[in-house]
Structure 1
Amino acid sequence: MILARITKAIREQNWFAVAVEFLIVILGVVIGFQVTAWNAQRAEATRTAVLIERVEEEFLISETHLSDYLQFLTAYEAASENVIAAIRNDTVATTEPALMREWLGLTRHVGRPPARSAVFAEMIASGELSLLPEALRTALSQFDQEIQRNAYLWPEAANHLTGSTALFDAVEYNSLRADRRVNAYDPDLLPLAESELEALVIYQGALRITYEQALQSVREILAAAGRRREED
């Protein structure tokens, strides 16, 4: 229709009408591009909001888990330190047996490594990480790097623990149930495990620090996600 009007105007040498028709065409194209861009921005903003909400949901759960496991790791480390102190002070034989069994039961644990973010991995795979604000992207990347960088600590700690022959010679361990972790221990053999326990408590301390750092990173991620939602 527009082409027919332009052709007619040219034949009639009505240059004003030609200019008007061309202007209409150009404005139509520009408006079309603007509408398309606006729709794309709206879709991107909607997807960004969904991703931020998923990050918040996942890391709120992670915050709870990390807080709980940090308490466990702190208890494991404290128990190992208590056993070492009893050995050094020569009070193993005089310590209440139930209390010593409790300490020894906690000593043999090193917890589990913090989990990487499933949402972050999904966004990396789909290429959607760029939709997030820079502060949130940076916080997520730093968290993931910390998890990967410290992952070696858990297998090393577990290998040290399972290889602690003097400790297992001195202590008769049973099931993982809280009331049956240790059946018995030999007060005379336990001091021979002091060096192994010292190395173990160093690992447990490093694991605790790793959890503290991970928990701090998680809270930074939640703060970045929360600030973004408030801005929106």
Structure 2
Amino acid sequence: MLLRGLTKHVKDQNWFAVALDFFIVVFGILIAFQITNWSDARSERIDAGNILVRLEQDFQQKLDRTDRSLALYKSNLAAAGRLIRGIRQKQLAEETLLDDISIATEYTLPTGPSITYTELVSDGRLQLIQSDELRRALSELNDYVNFARGQHGFYTSPLDSSRGTLISARSLIATGVPVKKNRNSFATKEVDHARLINDPDMLAALQTAYGIQDNLHAILLDNRQSILGILDLIKVEQKKR
């Protein structure tokens, strides 16, 4: 309809009407582009908001798991410390001995990378996060987590060796029935006190376990600070939207 009118106005040499028709066409196109841009921007804001919520959930879970691991290492260090002091003083803490010798060499697996961040990088949508500081923090922690998981065996293999040494001073509960929980594996019925106190390999194994778990605890503390920093940056980013 508009094209027919434009053709008629040209034939009639009604240049004002031609200009008006042309203006209407251009204005309509601009409005259409603007509506599309508004729609795309709104969709992007919604996507970015959803991404921030998912990132917050990811890192809150990481924080919770890190706190549980820190609590475990504190218990393990306390157990290994009591055993070390007991061996040195030749007076073991009988009330906690069975538990201490069971957990002194335990460890946890490190948390993995953020699934949401990995998806953003893979899909090329990292630009949905406006904050350069948040993107940098996510990248640095992701690289560190991947490195830590790659080095996990290097850190924990001495703990496995120490556990093997301590087994020789333990009389394990061997029912012949598989345990239902990992926490119940290596359950100890009784301990050879003389072997534990007098065999120098026992003290060496416990000191190795203590040092490694103390180091892993310190690493987790640093990791926790990074997670808290990312959660704070996510909250700042959410307030901007």
TM over 0.5: yes
Output the amino acid matched with 1:168.
Answer: I
Question: Where does structure 2 lack aligned partners over 5 or more consecutive residues?
Answer: 174-178
- Could you tell me which residue of structure 2 aligns to residue 159 of structure 1? 157
What CA distance in whole angstroms lies between the structure 2 residues aligned with 1:157 and 1:182?
25
Q: Percent identity?
A: 24
Q: Which residue of 1 aligns with 2:193?
A: 187
Specify the alignment match of 2:168 in structure 1. 169
Code of the residue aligned with 1:139 in structure 2: it is: A
Cα distance in 2 between the residues matched to 1:177 and 1:15:
89
Q: Output the CA distance in 1 between the equivalents of 2:139 and 2:120.
A: 11
Residue aligned with 1:142, SS:
helix
3-state DSSP of counterpart to 1:26 = helix
Q: Indicate if the aligned counterparts of 1:150 and 1:210 stay in contact, CA closer than 8 A.
A: no
Alpha-carbon shift at residue 178 of structure 1 (Å): 6.5
State the shift of 1:129 in Å.
2.5
The TM-score with structure 2 as length reference comes to 0.83
Residue by residue over 1:20-77, the C-alpha shift from the partner in whole angstroms, topping out at 9 and shown as x without a partner, is 2212111111111111000000000011111111222232232222112211112212
Larger displacement relative to structure 2 (118-127 or 103-112)? 118-127
Q: How far apart, in 2, do the equivalents of 1:177 and 1:14 lie? A: 91
User: Which of 215, 234, 239 in structure 2 is aligned with 1:225?
Assistant: 234
CA gap of 1:49–1:40, structure 2 versus 1, over 3 A, is same
RMSD of aligned alpha carbons = 2.4
Secondary structure, in 3 states, of the residue corresponding to 1:183?
Answer: strand
User: Is residue 114 from structure 1 mapped to residue 100 from structure 2 by the alignment?
Assistant: no
Which residue number in structure 1 is paired with residue 221 of structure 2?
212
Q: In structure 1, the residue corresponding to 2:168 is in which secondary structure?
A: helix
**Whole-angstrom distance in 1 between the partners of 2:149 and 2:65:** 17
Alpha-carbon distance in structure 2 between the residues aligned to 1:211 and 1:177: 21
Matched residues in 2 for 1:118 and 1:10: separation? Answer: 62
TM-score by length of 1: 0.86
CA contact (8 A) 1:114 1:211 kept: no
Q: Which residue matches 1:127?
A: 124
Q: Deviations over 1:116-164 (max 9, x none)?
A: 2222223233333321232332232222222112114432344223333
**More deviation in 168-177 or 128-137?**
168-177
Partner of 2:83: 83
Which letter maps to 1:172? S
Query: How far is the alpha carbon of 1:111 from its aligned partner?
Result: 1.7
Provide the residue aligned with 1:96 in structure 2: 93
AA aligned opposite 2:129: L
2: CA distance, partners of 1:150 / 1:179:
26
Contact 1:114 1:214 in 2 (8 A): no
- Name which of structure 1's ranges 212-221 and 170-179 shifts more when overlaid on structure 2: 170-179
Count of aligned pairs: 229
**1:41 and 1:179 mapped to 2: Cα distance?**
55
Query: Contact between 1:157 and 1:200, CA under 8 Å: does it hold in 2?
Result: no
**Is 1:137 aligned with 2:146?**
no
* Distance (whole Å) between structure 2 residues aligned to residue 113 and residue 177 of structure 1: 18
